[in-house]
Structure 1
Amino acid sequence: MAKMSMVFVLLLLAGCGNEPPLSLRVMSFNIRFDNPDDGPNAWPQRREMASGLIREVNPDVLGLQEALLHQIEQLQDDLPEYAWFGVGRDDGQSAGEFSPIFYRKDKFELLMQETLWCSETPHQPGLGWDAVCNRVITWGGLRDRGTGKIAVIFNTHWDHIGENARLQSAVLLRNEVAKVIPGEYVVVTGDFNCPPGSPPYRHLVAARENGGEPVLFDSRKRSLQAPQGPTGTFNAFGPEAVRPEPIDHIFVGEGISVQRFATLDKAVNGRMPSDHFPVVAEMVCQ
């Protein structure tokens, strides 16, 4: 997180008293890019299912992955109560897939936003380590209009091939999360292309170097109620192809109580809205 941004947030927090808790419903959804070769599962046949599912869940914050600009614009047309931010991963503007963050305009004010590349040069577009695609982390600071509390939301999509790229992306993400000022609430959404127990996942949820509490917690494991839905999140457009372990996750930082977690495997007329199941977490920022 840029130093000027952190100073800006600190000034905003100055003088704040004890506000009531901030309740959040957070959704992470890899919508599958618009690939004409998907035939009956191509985006034009899935758009209404995807926007309908989002509308049904009614998240306060939504992290999307694999979204092309025209898909984002179509979803915003379908869901006008949301605003969004993010950039294309190929040029830092409009080219390539986005990892955008949608948020309810009536609930939040956007304070700042930035996109970093998962590479050795995170402030400029480019490929990192052994990745085969450009990969990004988009983050933004959202101030709740009702409580004044600030949530810092990160959203990412890690490489599906490069093992070192995933591990180094975890190092980059954790370092950025660690820069968030105490008193702000961290939520991380994404398609991480790695299951629990993998080295990148373990790095994200590891204890601090001084032996203190972890920087991030898996909301599935943190949920006070038993997680609902299947464990796996990649479905390849068919329930028979669901992998046993999740690769789509929602992580939370300190001070957040996760009430419920669900993986949504809803089909419409036997068809899936995407080749990934979305995941949803309901939480309270104390």
Structure 2
Amino acid sequence: MKIMSFNLRVNVESDGGNAWPNRIQEAAEAIKQANATVIGTQEGTYSMLQELHAQLPGYSWLGISRTGEQDGEYCAIFYRHDLVEPLESGHFGLSEKPEQLGYMSWNTACPRMCTWVKLRETSGQEWILYNTHLDHISSEARTNGIRLIVDRMKQSSAVGGSIPAVLTGDFNCEPDSDVIACLNDELGLINAYSTLTRVGRTFHDFKGGEAGEPIDYIWATPNVSFTAVHIDRNTYNGRYPSDHYPVAAELALK
């Protein structure tokens, strides 16, 4: 299974030449080059996701916006429909009222959410993928949001069961944060970056470079291992596909 986490960067006119309409093909090319089976995306709006999907005929996608309506940003999940099929899917808000999308708690700057899907490969093997985008302002919202995701993963067959699970997302925090400690200590998840000797930054503001720390992550339950991890710092047609580098990982069952 090859998984990607990819913050698409919402369409902002002030980005000028880096605004979404100018890099749709580049974003699609990054996904094609990774040959990812499943991609957890962040910051895509409905129109952006439809435009990206038009460039990726081998993929389908699912999700809902963080407001519960069509408008707003999604934590959409793309998947290769020839390799996997969705069995169940859903979403919950990262707030004190998780069943009510659009509700805000913990001094969050905007509504936050998690989208999940249970997939079955053609071999019959099942996986569960969780995809999220934590708040960029409130550390309280990030910590409580990840604890909510941890609780939901514990309630599912993703933890302590035989079904492998993966968590992707833009966590808006560096490796020394409470969020990362929670994933290590409370769930015992495996960080994809544990296989790398050097990671570097994943948010680059369309400037490139490696100096710094990551804020985009891929985690997996202990019943799988990471066989390869790649942070894609390439340009396509001379342009970065986003202000975040896509992160891809290959996983194998233990």
Q: TM-score range by the shorter chain?
A: over 0.9
Structure 1 CA distance for aligned equivalents of residues 130 and 144 of structure 2:
16
Counterpart position of 1:231: 200
1:227-272 CA-to-partner distances (Å, cap 9, x unmatched) read: 67x52100000025x5500000000002101101111100135431
Instruction: Verify: 1:201 aligned to 2:177, yes or no.
Output: no
> 2:29 touches 2:236 (CA, 8 Å); kept in 1?
no
> 1:235 touches 1:243 (CA, 8 Å); kept in 2?
no
Deviates more, 1:260-269 or 1:162-171: 260-269
- The TM-score with structure 2 as length reference comes to 0.94
Instruction: Verify: 1:179 aligned to 2:155, yes or no.
Output: yes
Structure 1 segment 194-273 matched on structure 2, within 5 A:
194-207=173-186, 214=188, 216-221=189-194, 223=195, 226=196, 231-239=200-208, 244-273=212-241
> 2:167 is matched with which residue: 167, 173, 188?
188
Instruction: Verify: 1:95 aligned to 2:64, yes or no.
Output: no
> 1:227 touches 1:261 (CA, 8 Å); kept in 2?
no
Provide the secondary structure at the position in 1 that maps to 2:71. coil
1:154-206 CA-to-partner distances (Å, cap 9, x unmatched) read: 00000000110000011101111112321111100000001111011111111
1:8-45 CA-to-partner distances (Å, cap 9, x unmatched) read: xxxxxxxxxxxxxxxx1110000100111111110111
Q: Structure 2 counterpart of 1:108, which letter?
A: V
Counterpart position of 1:166: 142
Counterpart position of 2:38: 61
Q: Structure 1 counterpart of 2:136, which letter?
A: H
Instruction: Verify: 1:130 aligned to 2:107, yes or no.
Output: yes
4+ runs deviating over 4 angstroms:
none
Q: Give me the CA root mean square deviation.
A: 1.4
1:74-109 CA-to-partner distances (Å, cap 9, x unmatched) read: 11111011111110111x131100001111101111
Instruction: Verify: 1:33 aligned to 2:10, yes or no.
Output: yes
Counterpart position of 1:75: 52
Among all aligned residue pairs of Structure 1 and Structure 2, give the percentage whose two residues are the same amino acid: 35
Instruction: Verify: 1:149 aligned to 2:114, yes or no.
Output: no
Report the CA distance shift for 1:102/1:159 in structure 2 as closer, same or farther (over 3 A). Answer: same
Q: Structure 2 counterpart of 1:249, which letter?
A: Y
Structure 2 CA distance for aligned equivalents of residues 121 and 83 of structure 1:
29
Q: Which runs of 5+ in 2 are unaligned?
A: none
> 1:107 is matched with which residue: 73, 83, 87?
83
Counterpart position of 1:285: 253
Report the CA distance shift for 1:243/1:94 in structure 2 as closer, same or farther (over 3 A). Answer: farther
1:44-87 CA-to-partner distances (Å, cap 9, x unmatched) read: 11111111111111100100000010111111111011111110
Q: How many residues align?
A: 250
> 2:39 touches 2:77 (CA, 8 Å); kept in 1?
yes
Q: Which runs of 5+ in 1 are unaligned?
A: 1-23, 209-213
Q: Structure 2 counterpart of 1:144, which letter?
A: E
> 2:26 touches 2:237 (CA, 8 Å); kept in 1?
no
Counterpart position of 1:13: none
